[in-house]
Amino acid sequence: MLDFATARRTMVDSQVRPSDVTDLRIVAAMLDLPRERFLPQANTELAYADLDVPVGDARPGAPGRRLLKPMVLAKLVQAAAIKADDHVLDVGCATGYSAALLARLARSVIALDQNPALAKLATDNLAAFGAREVTVVTGPLTAGWPASAPYDVIFIDGAVEVVPEALCSQVKDGGRLVAVVGRAPAARAMVYRSVRGDVSGWPVFDASAPLLPGFAAPPAFVF
């Protein structure tokens, strides 16, 4: 059986630290959180591999869901520059691993998923770790969660081809939205900032991630 504690430390030492993740809060959280507990039993031995690990519905035609690879997750969280008093929306929380990590950094986290089965798993997993700072909600990912807006940070837990206006409108003045934008090999992690309602973004590193449901660009009309 895999020694998960050793694998967790190896993940941090070989994937996270060498990728310029210097926020010691993120490093400490990733050393502490048992990523394997957020995966189906069949995939626990992949918990600390350098890949996006499947967690979701594997039925034919169902959109597969995955936990982001550790390096991409850590760098994206670092790019969000989360402060201890921040209020965060985690879009596409899946089984709750990203929300558990964000909760170690922020004052409060709203963890959103549109798949009721995944939201239930996230609720159970987060309760098991006593993550009282996290509230799990269910609804369309592209709509965000306006009932608890505005947010200091919106963390999109996967790739998007378009960032919906509905999400941008829920960012507090001076707040940030982070996501992987585009499809490989041209995808990039982006940080968007809202200033008096004007949202602009800039790339922070090259990355790839699974496309979240609902975030594909509409087909372009070709003459």
The pTM is what?
Answer: 0.94
Strands of 108-113's sheet in order across: 134-138, 108-113, 87-91, 151-160, 171-181, 188-195, 198-206
Residue 121 tokens read as: 């798993």
pLDDT at residue 57 greater than cutoff 60:
no
pLDDT at residue 73 greater than cutoff 50:
yes
Predicted confidence at residue 184, as pLDDT, reads 75
- Which secondary structure element, helix H or strand E, spans residue 121, and what is its range? helix 116-128
Predicted confidence at residue 112, as pLDDT, reads 98
Domains of the chain: 4-206 (3.40.50.150)
The mean pLDDT of 70-90, rounded to a whole number, is 98
pLDDT greater at residue 60 or residue 50: 50
Contact 68, 157 (CB under 8 A): yes
pLDDT tens track for 4-41: 999 999 999 999 999 999 999 999 999 999 999 999 99
How far apart (Å, rounded) are the C-alpha atoms in residues 217 and 22? 34
